[in-house]
């Protein structure tokens, strides 16, 4: 489901956003019992989430995707504009739905169904706090195939954006867009997995992409994969 996280050295500062008090309480009880994770705030609405995130700059935000008023998709987009170093995990009721995918398109680093197992929730929080994604590229690619044509088209990046990549980095980006893991990319190009990891890091940096999830979406929208 997710890439191996890079362990952060400080406590992960976390904000919970959900319009249901019982859901927020359940997540708080679970997360506060875990060493290295500190719940710094709760929000019952998108507008509250924006205010709190602007003030507290959480590392990770658990974001309910369906809320009255400002929904989780719009809140995610606005929150990441205000607090660009925060990472968002979308909480959804149904796996692989267009709302979860809308959250990814808005900048979230992954999604979880609300009844996910506690160990998977904790692993996802640690993964995105470490700069990884809480969903595989293969799942992201599947969501693009299912819902990509239902959502408003994203603004196409400038034509010179891809020109910053070397030929090998463009190949790596295309492979990421196909949903391949680092190991699968290494096997395709007959190189060490550590070499692939270096290339992936350079691609993300040059294109200013948050993680592999957004590399998949970028490659799809640029028609590097179909």
Name the pLDDT band for 157 (thresholds 50, 70, 90): low
Split into its structural domains, the chain has a count of: 2
Indicate whether 38 belongs to any domain.
Answer: yes
Q: Is the pLDDT of residue 150 over 90?
A: no
| 130 and 172 belong to one structural domain | no
One domain for residues 192 and 126: no
The average pLDDT across 117-137 equals 91
> 168 and 115 in one domain?
no
Residues 99 and 198 in one domain: no
What is the span of the domain harbouring residue 199? 162-221
Tell me, yes or no, whether 122 and 206 share the same domain: no
Query: Would the pLDDT of 8 be above 50?
Result: no
User: What's the pLDDT score for residue 156?
Assistant: 54
What are 67-81's pLDDT values in tens digits?
988 999 999 999 999
Across the chain, mean pLDDT equals: 89
Tell me, what's the pLDDT at 158?
A: 53
pLDDT over 90 at 93, yes or no: no
* Residues 88 and 40 reside in one and the same domain: yes
Listed range (103-107, 125-129, 160-164) with the worst mean pLDDT: 160-164
Q: Does residue 146 sit within a domain?
A: no
In a domain, 201, yes or no: yes
Q: Percent of the chain beyond pLDDT 90?
A: 69
- Are 41 and 92 in the same domain? yes
In a domain, 151, yes or no: no
Cβ(109)–Cβ(63) under 8 Å?
no
Q: What are the tens digits of pLDDT across the range 15-56?
A: 999 999 999 999 999 999 999 999 999 999 999 999 999 999
pLDDT tier at 225, thresholds 50, 70, 90: confident
**Res 213 pLDDT > 70:** yes
> Does residue 94 fall inside a structural domain?
yes
Residue 2 included in any domain:
no
pLDDT at 1: 46
Q: Give the CATH number for residue 171.
A: 1.10.10.10
- 20 and 126 in a single domain? The answer is yes
């Amino acid at each position: 489901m997710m890439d191996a996280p890079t362990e952060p050295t400080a406590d992960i500062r976390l904000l919970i956003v959900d319009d249901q008090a019982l859901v927020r309480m359940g997540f708080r009880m679970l997360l506060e019992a875990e060493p290295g994770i500190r719940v710094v705030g709760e929000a019952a609405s998108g507008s509250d989430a924006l205010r709190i995130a602007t003030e507290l700059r959480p590392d990770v935000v658990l974001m309910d995707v369906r809320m009255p008023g400002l929904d989780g998709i719009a809140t995610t987009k606005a929150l990441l504009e205000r607090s660009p170093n925060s990472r968002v995990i979308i909480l959804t009721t149904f796996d692989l739905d267009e709302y979860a995918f809308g959250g990814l398109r808005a900048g979230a680093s992954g999604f979880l169904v609300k009844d996910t197992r506690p160990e998977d929730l904790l692993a996802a929080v640690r993964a995105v706090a470490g700069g990884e994604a809480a969903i595989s590229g293969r799942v992201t690619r599947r969501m693009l195939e299912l819902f990509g044509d239902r959502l408003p088209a994203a603004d196409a990046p400038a034509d010179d954006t891809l020109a910053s990549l070397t030929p090998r980095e463009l190949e790596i980006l295309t492979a990421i867009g196909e949903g391949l893991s680092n190991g699968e990319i290494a096997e395709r190009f007959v190189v060490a997995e550590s070499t692939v990891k270096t290339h992936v890091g350079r691609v993300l940096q040059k294109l200013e992409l948050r993680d592999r999830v957004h590399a998949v979406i970028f490659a799809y929208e640029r028609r590097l994969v179909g």
